[in-house]
Chain A
Amino acid sequence: MHIKTRLLLALVCVLSASACSGDAKPATASTSTPDALRKVTLQLNWKPEPEFGPFYAAQEIGAFAKHGLEVELRPGGSGAPTTELLGSKSVQFAIVSADEVIRARAIGNKLVGIFAVYQKDPMSLITHRARGLKSLAEVIKAPGTLALERGAPFATWFEKTVGYGPAKVVPSPYGDLSFLRNDPSYAMQGFATSEPVAARKLGLDVDVFLVADAGFNAYQTVLAIHEDLLTQDAALVKSMLEAVTAGWRAYQSDPKATNAVMGKLNPTMDAATFAAVAVAQLPHVESDATRTRGPGTMELARWQTLVTQMTDTGLIKKPVDPAACFRDPVALLAGK
């Protein structure tokens, strides 16, 4: 059994090492010399698109540098595991959705949302206008093919409250419009700000039904951190928020330069589409709350509703405190 003992020992060492490697960046006080920029990573959950405008704009206008940060903006793709990366502390900042924060906390991954780019959930169902459907519920109930992430919170919410009809439920094509083009009775999930723009460009006449208008409204494109970062390096968090807020304002006033930068990183969208999406997302990015309080602001009531919805659909098995899920960036910056 000698060999087996050695193998077991090696196995334990390897597994422990991989678990320990998560604590990659020890939390120290912020930079001592003003010239040394703090290197951090912000993991995006999709390719560079107008939804990430505030972040790329912050980089463009030098807001990160001004607040002592050198931020690597890392693009993602479909299925980018941003919650896992935050949980294993491989990155300091990442983009998630509000429901991902709640789910993470329910299984012990203590994430906190600190800035919401999308105030109104842009998730929607997109289908051909020719079908003559009038509401999201009608789309779900209609025959044909319904493409969405069955396990996504909005989907489980509507499955429970509306109920699937005779349609064949298939996975979301994650932005690939081929299925929509080919099938006249196909409906797919997508962000109201992007897929419809691309669809119209292809000559498709589509209707867009927002989930937010049908009772499910989660904050999207939420900048998030692991809770420990707040206790260990509150100054870093504050610096990041200052820069992002500045970037947000810059992007809202003039997105063109930032769009050009993102366009180079994401050649699948052309300049015209970038511009169109930046316009289309305005009603989602700006709200009464942002106008009265400030960019990226979030309120408790919305989080409470979302937690209730997710509990009712059985998406989370352990109780989650809505207040612990987020910090209002306006309040954080004001020092509260």
Chain B
Amino acid sequence: MSAASTILPPLVPAVLVLGTLECLVRSEVLPSFLVPAPSSVATALVTDAAELYPALWSTATAALLGFAISAALGTALAVLLSSSRRVERAIYPYAIFSQTVPVVAIAPLLVIWFGWDQTALASAVIVSIFPVIANTLAGLRSTEPALLDLFKLYDSSPLDLLLKLRVPAAMPQIFTGLRVAGGLAVIGAIVGEFITGQGLGGSIAVARQLQRVDLIFAGILLASVLGLMLFGAVNLAAWLALRRWHASESRP
């Protein structure tokens, strides 16, 4: 696939929508205090750089670190849950519960437990950990029985069985979970930042108070870019890990 055929198709609707929006706002069909003209958003990305880019860095570190913790902790929890059905039945409901709690509702608790500086990180983990647990667990539970027999024949230790069979076999599923968790980590970080006033979430909240719609959308745009980059990184990792052997990555 040429570079043109991968980049052009998503660009065409974007250009059309943005162009239409620009015309509608300039001609005052759409009120500019509700919807910003795309050109004003682009301008804000430059004029408000001093506010936006440190904020982006702050959100990026919270989201990336949160994602890494979710990936590690989520995988570890899934391994624990996969060890026995009883353990799974005892603990899994709480994992599900962690996904449904609205982070904003427990804001004071988060600040008390984690402090103002780590709340965004905590929020990113809370919001993104469940897909990792769910997908990893599903992957660990779906090892082919024939392969399990094989390891049994060779008197494999439980540790070897986990590390050399079940985890590698679960990799495609694990990456699926990581793909979802990446975007959620960004969202989680920003929600946490609504509470603490830091990062892109804080900037967007202040922009709301200042009624600067262009700045709001500039912040949203940067957050989306961050999410896309994280998603892309996970995809790249998946390709590197799976390309030799899994159908999902072996053909373009």
Contact = CB atoms under 8 A, between A and B. Distances in A.
Contact of A109 (B33, B108, B205): B33
Interface residues of A, number: 34
Given A176-B108, A179-B108, A182-B112, 5 more contacts: A8-B20, A15-B21, A16-B24, A145-B116, A171-B195
Contacts of B107: 176
Given A4-B16, A19-B31, A171 B24 contact: no
B8 to A, nearest CB: 13
A79 interface: yes
Contacts of A109: 31, 33
B17 interface: yes
B206 A151 contact: yes
A15 B196 contact: no
B108 A170 contact: no
A260 interface: no
B89 to A, nearest CB: 35
Given A8-B16, A109-B31, A150 B24 contact: no
B127 to A, nearest CB: 19
Given A12-B20, A171-B205, A182-B112, A108 B210 contact: no
Contacts, number: 78
8 contacts: A7-B13, A12-B20, A15-B30, A22-B31, A149-B206, A151-B207, A173-B108, A179-B111
B209 A149 contact: yes
Interface string A74-94: 000001000110011000000
Contacts of A103: 210-211
Interface in A163-186: 168-171, 173, 176, 178-179, 182
Given A145-B116, A179-B111, A182-B112, A151 B29 contact: no
A223 to B, nearest CB: 20
A109 B202 CA distance: 25
Contact of B196 (A22, A104, A170): A170
A16 B17 CA distance: 13
Interface of B: 12-13, 16-17, 20-21, 24, 29-34, 107-108, 111-112, 116, 194-197, 202, 205-211
B66 to A, nearest CB: 19
A151 B219 CA distance: 15
Q: Which 3 A-B pairs have the closest CB atoms?
A: A151-B209, A178-B108, A151-B210
A244 to B, nearest CB: 26
B16 to A, nearest CB: 6
A215 B206 CA distance: 23
Interface residue SS majority, chain B? helix
B108 A19 contact: no
Contacts of B194: 171
Contact of A19 (B30, B205, B207): B30
Interface of A: 4, 7-8, 11-12, 15-16, 19, 22, 79, 83-84, 87-88, 103-104, 107-109, 145, 149-152, 168-171, 173, 176, 178-179, 182, 315
Contacts of B208: 79, 151
A141 B210 CA distance: 23
B20 A83 contact: no
A69 B199 CA distance: 47
Contacts of A19: 24, 29-31
A22 B30 CA distance: 10
Contact of A108 (B13, B33, B111): B33
A170 B227 CA distance: 25
Contact of A104 (B16, B20, B33, B207): B33
Contact of B24 (A15, A83, A87, A170): A15
Contacts of B205: 151, 171
A107 B32 contact: yes
B204 to A, nearest CB: 11
Nearest to B17: A11
A312 B248 CA distance: 59
Contacts of A79: 208
Nearest to A147: B197
B206 A150 contact: yes
Nearest to B198: A170
A255 B20 CA distance: 53
B116 to A, nearest CB: 6
Contacts of A16: 24, 29
B13 to A, nearest CB: 8
Nearest to B211: A103
A178 B17 CA distance: 44
Contact of A4 (B12, B29, B196): B12
A170 B116 CA distance: 8
Contacts of A7: 13, 16
A168 B20 CA distance: 43
B126 to A, nearest CB: 18
A107 B211 contact: yes
A34 B192 CA distance: 54
Nearest to B23: A12
A169 B197 contact: yes
A189 to B, nearest CB: 12
Nearest to A181: B108
A155 B12 CA distance: 43
